[in-house]
Amino acid sequence: MQDKGNVDPQDQRRRRYRAFAIAVGCLMLLLGVGALAGWLLQIAIVISLIPGFPSMAFNTALGFVLSGVGLAASMLSDRRSRIAATVMAGLAAAIAAARLVEIATFGRHFHNIDLLISQLLVPPDFIAAIGGGMGPNTALIFLIANLSLLLSLHLENSKSQVVQELTSYVVITLGMIALAGYVTDAEQGYRWGPYAAMALHTAIGMVVFGCGLVARSWWMQPANRAQIPLLIPAAVCFTALLVDLYTPLGLANGILYVPLVLTALWFGNRNAPLFFAFTCTVLLMLGFFAVRHDEASFWQEIANRTITAATLWLIAILVFYFLRNNHNLEAERIRFGALVRSTPDAVIVIDGRGTIKSFNPAAESMFGYAPQETIGRNIKMLMPEPYHSEHDGYLTHYRQTGEERIIGTTRMVSGRRKNGIVFPIEVSISVVFSGETKTFVGIVRDISERARQEERMKTTLAQLEAYTAELERSNHDLDEFAYIASHDLKEPLRGLHNHSRFLLEDYEDKLDDDGVRRLNRLVRLSQRMEKLVNDLLYFSRLGRQQLAVKRTDIGLIVKDVVATMELLLEERHARVVIDGRLPEVVCDAPRLTEVFRNLITNAIKYNDKPAPLVSIGYLERYVGGDGTIARNVFFVRDNGKGIPREFHEDIFRIFKRLEKSQDSDDGTGAGLTFVRKIIARHNGDIWLESEVGAGTTFYFTLGKKREGQNAAA
């Protein structure tokens, strides 16, 4: 259930307009029923109110009943009520239209439309005694009012609302003209020509009917409702018409009608001044025709009223454009206010003396002050020292010299919260000129988090510099180790090798078979040890040496590698084929030559087939069995033994060999380690697919890793 304190003000207005319109419909129904009762019961005083005054015709009373029910039913939202409103308003409009056609066709002596219904219910003698019928002004009001009601029922848009509002003003005006005629004893106000006149209570009912139509039009679009009661312009109309009727040559009407047009300034509808200008023009014309004129003043009064009407329309047009511009400015103000309220940055507006004029919600949450605590106080309250003391001096200097030091720029300064905490902010200040007045708009952003991140970044950079220095020291130590390994460690190995060779050459005939075997073993171990040391030194340098990259034809590299391996290929009856065309890539050619040499050599050495076959190719797009995708992939495929899946990662470990080849003494088991390191230096990745007994395929990329995979460097 909605809290009454949270009801939308626009909904409250709509409810009031709806209740008022329904009340007007009920009053019209009571008026019509009362007059019909007077006809049926033959009570003349109910029909005419005052002896000698015109009486309310039977059809006029019926028109009030139909129009009242139609107006009240039109305010209800259910389908039956809308149908009832349409039927009632349609019948009332049809009766009024038929009466107007009768007057225009047959003249004042015919009242067949009135007699058509009344003679069935009322004695002819009483009808003849009362006489008359529905007047043309009454018929016109019923017609236009009910037509506008029908239009608004079936075309619910802004145009139908405007039409109904304009119609309501016309209805009120015509009703008030008739009332003014009764007050001033000017028969022309309530009797148009020689036709039947509008009764006094009919005129009152018409004014009430018009007010109900106004309420309904504002109920349709409450944003267009008047900000002052309609009673005020209505009273102005009535007074102006009275004065007009008693003022010679129509001199006073312009003085009173101008304020009526100006009351449109208090109406939300921008078309209100044009409505009032139209109403005043009708009043001017009726005021002219309501009195008799002598020949001397006839044309002079026409000229006066023409000038007055032109002046009223000129003022109405000026007021219309003023309201339109004011509406546009108000819309822009609302949009700007919504932008300022919703922006995440603090927006603070100050005047030329530093007094705060505006403080948006973001500024509230940033500084901790409520708007009422800051507005009217100096902006210095939000500043710590030294900005607190320097601010007034800067404003004074700016007023005296016009020199802009920070306007139009973005500065990083400090702000002070309500609790006294000082925090870093970023301020952009702009100046807005309104005549001679200068207003400063400051956009403030809290950069505390950014400052913390910068501080963390500085700490991280300091740590990185320390790590870099440590890495440089470690690399220096590694270089020293490499120097020691290449000289001091290899020298005793060479000594062991040489002395073993000397012993074999000089004392082989004096040693038994076991001694010779052991010396030969010592020679081979010293040679292998030297190879291991060389491979270890080479591996350490791979990660630190710069690559000599250039555009290289991979096909030429493969052909050069195959040419250097002719002897091995002949011994093993092996073949190397290139599957398709190999592209040109940017790489370090000597290093990539080593990659292909190692992969091809392994494919031949660890092959149990009588005719080993090695295929080398290139794929623009590769899709693996596990769903990984890669582009620009090279492959080296053999028909050898294959590698079990559990060893796919072990084979890349340095000095790790799954089995000995036929010439295993020639290798150390570091070849694939070198291959992965070289490919990683090229920002690539290497992986394999293998089937035991069917062969192995090594895939690798240069410059891009597989999607979803990370290669170990």
* Helix, strand, coil percentages for the chain (3-state, nearest 5): 65, 15, 25
Q: What whole-number distance in Å separates Cα of residue 362 and Cα of residue 563?
A: 76
Residue where the block lists tokens 């319109």: 21
Looking at the domain that runs over 545-699, which CATH code has it been given? 3.30.565.10
Task: Identify the pLDDT of residue 403.
Answer: 62
Q: Name the residue type at position 638.
A: D
Q: How confident is the model at residue 228 (pLDDT cuts 50, 70, 90)?
A: very low
Q: What confidence score (pLDDT) does residue 264 get?
A: 72
Please check whether residue 82 is in contact with residue 225, taking contact to mean a CB–CB distance below 8 angstroms. Answer: no
Backbone angles phi, psi at 616, to 5 degrees: -120, 130
Q: What is the pLDDT of residue 503?
A: 79
Those residues whose C-beta lies under 8 Å from the C-beta of residue 578, and which sit 6 or more positions away, are: 555, 558, 615, 616, 617
Residues 471-522: tens digit of each pLDDT: 878 777 776 776 666 666 667 777 777 777 777 777 777 778 888 788 888 8
Neighbouring-strand partners of residue 699: 635, 687
Q: How confident is the model at residue 105 (pLDDT cuts 50, 70, 90)?
A: confident
Q: Does residue 695 come out as left (phi exceeding 0), alpha (psi in the -120 to 50 range) or beta?
A: left
Non-local CB neighbours of 675 within 8 Å, separated by 6+ positions: 594, 595, 598, 599, 652, 686, 700
CA-based nearest residue to 248, from 193, 192, 183, 305:
305
Peptide bond into 124 cis (omega under 30): no
Indicate whether 661 pLDDT > 60. Answer: no
Arithmetic mean of pLDDT, 170-195 = 74
Q: Do domains 340-448 and 545-699 have the same CATH topology?
A: no
CB atoms inside a 10 Å sphere around CB 197: 23
What's the pLDDT score for residue 442?
83
Give pLDDT, residue 553: 92
Instruction: Give the integer Cα–Cα distance in Å for 264 and 274.
Output: 9
- For 426, the 3-state DSSP assignment is strand
**Residue 482 dihedral angles phi and psi, to the nearest 5°:** -60, -40
Grouping H, G, I as helix, E, B as strand and the rest as coil, residue 644 is coil
Closest CA to 654 of 545, 540, 577: 540
Q: What is the pLDDT of residues 536-582, one digit of tens each?
A: 666 666 555 667 778 889 999 999 889 888 888 988 999 999 998 99
C-alpha–C-alpha distance, residues 85 and 67, integer Å = 9
Task: State yes or no: pLDDT of 683 exceeds 70.
Answer: yes
**How far is the C-alpha of 592 from the C-alpha of 442, rounded, in Å?**
61
Task: Determine the Cα–Cα distance for residues 539 and 671; give it in Å rounded to an integer.
Answer: 10
Q: What is the mean pLDDT of residues 638-662?
A: 76
Interval 150-159: pLDDT, tens: 988 887 666 6
Distance CA 221, CA 211 (A): 16
pLDDT for 306 beyond 90: no
Return the higher-pLDDT residue of 225 and 100. Answer: 100
Burial class from Cβ neighbours inside 10 Å (0-12, 13-18, 19+) for residue 115 reads middle
65 pLDDT higher than 80: yes
pLDDT surpasses 70 at 596: yes
Stated as kind and residue range, the H or E segment containing 555 is helix 554-564
| Assigned token pair, 688 | 């394999």
The band of 2, judged by pLDDT with boundaries at 50, 70 and 90, is very low
Provide the pLDDT confidence category of residue 662 given band limits of 50, 70 and 90: very low
pLDDT reported for residue 4? 41
> Residue 576 in 3-state DSSP?
strand
What pLDDT shows up at residue 710?
38
Q: Please tell me the pTM assigned to this model.
A: 0.44
* pLDDT tops 70 at residue 706: no
Higher-scoring residue by pLDDT: 478, 413: 413
Q: How confident is the model over 378-396, as pLDDT tens digits? A: 888 888 887 777 766 666 6
CB 594 within 8 A of CB 678: yes
In this predicted structure, the answer to whether residue 613 has a pLDDT above a threshold of 90 is yes
How do the domains of the chain map onto residue ranges?
A: 6-222, 225-336, 340-448, 449-537, 545-699
pLDDT band at 664 (very low <50, low <70, confident <90, very high): very low
Cα separation, 305 vs 285, whole angstroms: 8
Note whether 128 and 55 are within 8 A (CB). Answer: no
Tell me the mean pLDDT in the region 248-267: 61
pLDDT at 52 over 90: no
Contacts of 177 (CB under 8 A, 6+ apart): 189, 190, 241, 283, 286, 290
Provide the CA 426 distance to its chain's centre, in angstroms: 26
- The CATH label, of 3.40.50.300, 1.10.10.10, 3.10.110.10, 3.30.450.20, for the domain at 340-448 is 3.30.450.20
Distance CA 698, CA 598 (A): 11
- Orientation angle between helical segments 272-289 and 231-246, nearest 10 degrees: 30
| pLDDT in the model for residue 121 | 84
Is residue 348 classed as helix, strand or coil in its secondary structure?
strand
The pLDDT, as a whole number, for residue 189 is 64
**CA–CA gap between residue 158 and residue 154 (Å, rounded):** 12
Instruction: Tell me what the pLDDT averaged over the chain comes to.
Output: 78
Instruction: Provide the pLDDT confidence category of residue 711 given band limits of 50, 70 and 90.
Output: very low
The average pLDDT across 97-123 equals: 77
- Higher pLDDT among residues 703 and 363, named by residue: 363
* Per-residue pLDDT at 262: 67
Q: Which helix (H) or strand (E) holds 619?
A: strand 613-623
Share of the chain above pLDDT 70, in %: 76
Q: CA 120 to CA 559: how far, in whole Å? A: 122
Q: Give me the mean pLDDT over the 434-462 stretch.
A: 83
Beta bridge partners of 427: 411, 444
Output the pLDDT for position 217.
83
Which segment of 226-230, 277-281, 642-646 scores lowest on mean pLDDT?
226-230
The pLDDT tens digits for 618-643 are: 998 888 877 788 889 999 999 988 88
66-70, 167-171, 641-645: the lowest-pLDDT one: 167-171
Secondary structure of 228-271 as H, E, C letters = CCCHHHHHHHHHHHHHHHHCHHHCCHHHHHHHHHHHHHHECCCC
Q: Which of 237-246, 619-628, 649-658 has the highest mean pLDDT?
A: 619-628
- Which of the four pLDDT bands, split at 50, 70 and 90, describes residue 93? very high
The pLDDT, as a whole number, for residue 548 is 74
Q: Given a cut of 50, is residue 707 above it in pLDDT?
A: no
Beta-carbon contacts of 321 under 8 Å, excluding residues fewer than 6 positions away, are none
Return the pLDDT at 628: 81
CA distance 450 to 671: 49
